[in-house]
A = this chain, B = another copy of it.
Amino acid sequence: MTSSRFDRLYTYLNEQQVDAMLITLPKHVYYLTGFLSDPHERFLGLVVPREGEPTLIVPALDREAAEAASSVKQIATHTDTENPYDVLRRTLPAGTKVLGLEKGHLTVNRYEAILESIGADRYVDIDAVLRDMRLLKTPEEVAVIKRAVAIVEDVLRAGLKKVAVGVSEIEIVAELEYQMKKLGAEGPSFSTMVLAGENSALPHGNPGERKIQAGELLLFDLGVYVDGYASDITRTFAVGELSDKQKEIYQAVLDANLKAIERVQPGATLASLDQAAREHITAKGYGEYFMHRLGHGMGLDVHEYPSVHGQNQETLRAGMVFTIEPGIYLPGVGGVRIEDDVLVTENGVEVLTTFPKELTVIG
Shortest C-beta distance, A169 to chain B (Å), equals 9
Q: At the interface, yes or no: A221 with Cβ under 8 Å from chain B? A: no
- Separation in Å of the A156 CB from the closest CB of chain B? 16
- Does chain B have a CB within 8 A of A202? no
- Expressed in whole angstroms, the Cα–Cα distance for A111 and B173 within the complex equals 40
What is the total number of copies of this protein in its complex? Answer: 2
A362: interface (CB < 8 Å): no
Give complex CA distance A105, B106 in Å: 9
Q: Does A108 lie at the interface of the complex (its beta carbon under 8 Å from any beta carbon of B)?
A: yes
Please measure, in the bound complex, the distance between the C-alpha atom of A103 and the C-alpha atom of B114, giving whole angstroms: 13
Contact among B104, B170, B173, B174 for A109, CB-based, below 8 A = B104
With beta carbons under 8 angstroms apart, the residue of B106, B123, B182, B207 that contacts A170 is B182
Question: How would residues 94 to 129 of chain A score, 1 for a CB under 8 Å from any chain B CB and 0 otherwise?
Answer: 000000010111111101100000000001010100
B-contacting residues, A70-109, CB 8 Å = 101, 103-109
A123 to B207, CA, bound (A): 43
Within 8 A of B (CB), among A169-213: 170-171, 173-175, 177-178, 181-182, 207-209
How far does the alpha carbon of A125 sit from the alpha carbon of B113 in the complex, in Å?
Answer: 13
A209 cross-chain contacts in B, Cβ below 8 A: 182
Residue of A106, A125, A171, A178 contacting most chain B CB atoms (<10 Å): A178
| Docked CA distance A300–B109 (Å) | 22
Q: A171 vs B179: C-alpha distance in the bound complex, in angstroms?
A: 9
Contact assessment for B104 and A105 in the assembled complex, using a CB-CB cutoff below 8 Å: no
A181 is contacted by which of B123, B170, B178, B181 (Cβ under 8 Å)?
A: B170
CB distance from A348 to the nearest CB of B (A): 32
Q: What would be 20 A-B contacts, judged by CB atoms less than 8 Å apart?
A: A103-B107, A103-B108, A103-B109, A104-B107, A105-B107, A106-B107, A106-B108, A107-B107, A108-B108, A109-B125, A109-B127, A170-B178, A170-B181, A170-B182, A171-B178, A173-B181, A174-B174, A174-B175, A177-B177, A181-B207
- Give 7 nearest A-B pairs by CB, closest first: A174-B178, A103-B108, A170-B181, A103-B109, A108-B111, A106-B108, A104-B109
